Amino acid sequence: MSGYQQHLRDLHEMWRIRALEEKVRELRLSGEIVGSVHLSIGQEAGPVGFCTELSSEDALFATYRGHGWAMARGVPPTPMLAELAGRATGLNGGRGGSAYFTAPEYGFHGENSIVGAGAPIAVGAALAGRHDGSGRVAVTVFGDGALNQGATHEAMNFAAAFKLPVVFVCENNLYSELTPIATMVGEPELWRRAAGYGMPGHWVDGNDPAGVREAAATAIARAREGAGPTMLEMMTERLVGHYIGDAEQYRPPGELERARQTEPIVRLRAALTEAGVSEAELDDCETRARAEIEAAAAAALAAPPADPSTGKEHVYA
């Protein structure tokens, strides 16, 4: 794929995620979706850039802000929206909702509402891959606050000690829920922690899908070659609250306005315009994405609600 085509594809894929998340917000506010929902509006470049480098055998573990990662991994929007809306045709029969849905057939092994919990699970998947002949690389995505969790420390130490094929991806959106990460750590450049575990760490512009793709390719190749794990700190900003209903009173004046000027869709569109791409081509990326999501939402909402009597199915203790 040429650079021009890849950039247009990236723009379209980011619009797909943006349109999905905006539709999820709309359905949550209307009551069609219930429960806790965390949106990735403004953070679309990370999953779009990263997931193009994953093979079908690789395993991806996301946080509860993982709708974009699921879509970038190839999960179709109709069963995803059906799951979030508690429909029987959802990915997990309407049982998982936003916080816990999973689609292993697409290499997406679920969101997780426990901060940092995806890291040790991914390490387990990487260890299993060493013995089952799959050659899989495991990727765990977590927020900046998860780096202060003990389970994340243990996972990184174990992966480094045994040179497991894991990529640790920290989506640093500047806030650990409602608290600025800079007020919670002695070293705000979180990627530097990797050296203490004996693995490489890298800072990545998380609003640039091409830069994310390059960093992902290097880290995944290193893992697949048996050289061990890598930590990537992807800097980005969310353009919405931590959760739907968050008043965001903790954000300083002007911060959101500045973030909207550097968010990934605005940046890439501006770069493509400067490169001579027509407005019609750029508009088409958004138009096609929104049409797809509108159709997916209509199909999802037309499905019957999940049967409450099946709530205990697929639950193991």
Mean pLDDT by 10 residues, the chain (317 residues): 86 98 98 95 98 97 95 98 97 92 95 91 96 94 95 98 98 92 92 97 98 98 97 97 92 95 97 96 97 98 94 78
pLDDT computed for residue 310 by the predictor: 85
pLDDT at residue 15, rounded to an integer? 98
138-143 sheet: strands from edge to edge: 59-61, 138-143, 166-172, 230-235, 201-205
DSSP state of 104: G
DSSP character at residue 173: -
Looking at residue 168, its pLDDT comes to 98
Q: Give the pLDDT of residue 46.
A: 98
Whole-number Å distance between alpha carbons of 189 and 14: 26
- E-strand stretches of the chain: 59-61, 138-143, 166-172, 175-176, 179-180, 201-205, 230-235
What is the bridge-based pairing of β-strands 59-61 and 166-172? unpaired
**Residue 1: what pLDDT?**
61
Q: What is the structure's pLDDT at 2?
A: 67
pLDDT tens by residue, 179-215? 989 999 999 999 999 999 999 999 999 999 999 999 9
User: For the chain, which residues make up each domain, given as ranges?
Assistant: 3-303
Predicted local distance difference test score (pLDDT) of residue 20: 98
Q: Which fold has domain 3-303?
A: Rossmann fold (3.40.50)
**pLDDT for the residue 3:** 77
